Each structure stands twice: as structure tokens, then as C-alpha cells.
Amino acid sequence: MDAQQLNLIYLIIAAAIATFATRVGGYVLITQLKHIPPRVEAALNAVPAAVLTTLVAPAFVYGGYDVAASMLVAFAVGLRFSTLRMLLVGWVAVMTIRHLIL
């Protein structure tokens, strides 16, 4: 096993520990303290959407017009339907643009 491979294993283990910490954390917290300051709670509440947005917006802006177009189509689908349908429709859209239109 080379060093790079080993680093990936360590990375996965660290990610697993971080994930487990979130799954135990609330239990530990709730048994320790009764009240979380509202601003802290609001900040924590915003974390997932904020992080995930940073993986979406740059791909949309810098990913090329084919990616942007299929993301727009998927967005419209996602307002009504499941993520699985978004993926399916978005994939069909990008394949159509790449192989049929170009």
C-alpha cells in the first residue's frame, strides 16, 4: 500500500469519526445542557445549505453552458419531484446537448 493510498484510508477514517461525532453529539449535549443560544442555533441550522450551495453555484457558473442548462432543467424538476428524477432528467438533458445538439 503506497503513501497516497494510506492517506486516503486515514482521510476516510477521520470522516467516519467526524460523522459519528455528529451522531453522538446531540445526545451528549442534551444530557449536559438545556439551552443553545438562538444565534448559535441559527448559525448551525444554516450550515448544510451554506456548504452545499458552494458545491452547486460554482459548477453552474464555471461548468460550461451544457452543465448550466442541464442544472436549470434539473432545478425545475426538483421543485416538484425527487432527487432521483432530477438526476435522471438532468442527465438526459446534458446527454442530449452533448450528443444530439453539438
Partner 1 sequence: MNRDEFREGVRGGFPIMVAASPFGALFGALAVDNGFSIADAVFMSAAVYAGASQMVGIELFGNNVQPWLVVLSVFAVNFRHVLYSASIAKHIRHFTLVQKFFAFFLLIDPQYAESERRAERGLPVSFSWYLGFGLIIYFPWLVNTAIGAVFGQLIGDPKAIGLDVLLPIYFLGLVLGFRKRDRFLPVVAVSAFASVAAMHFVGSPWHVSIGALAGVLLAACLPQEPGRSEMPAVEKEA
State the nearest-atom distance from the C-beta of 43 to partner 1, in Å.
Answer: 4
Rounded Cα gap, residues 52 and 46, in angstroms = 10
State the nearest-atom distance from the C-beta of 64 to partner 1, in Å.
Answer: 10
Contact between 6 and partner 1 per CB under 8 A: no
Residues 6+ apart with CB under 8 A from 40: none
The length of the chain, given as a count of residues: 102
Q: Which of residues 8-27 bind partner 1 (CB under 8 A)?
A: 8-16, 18-27
Contact between 49 and partner 1 per CB under 8 A: yes
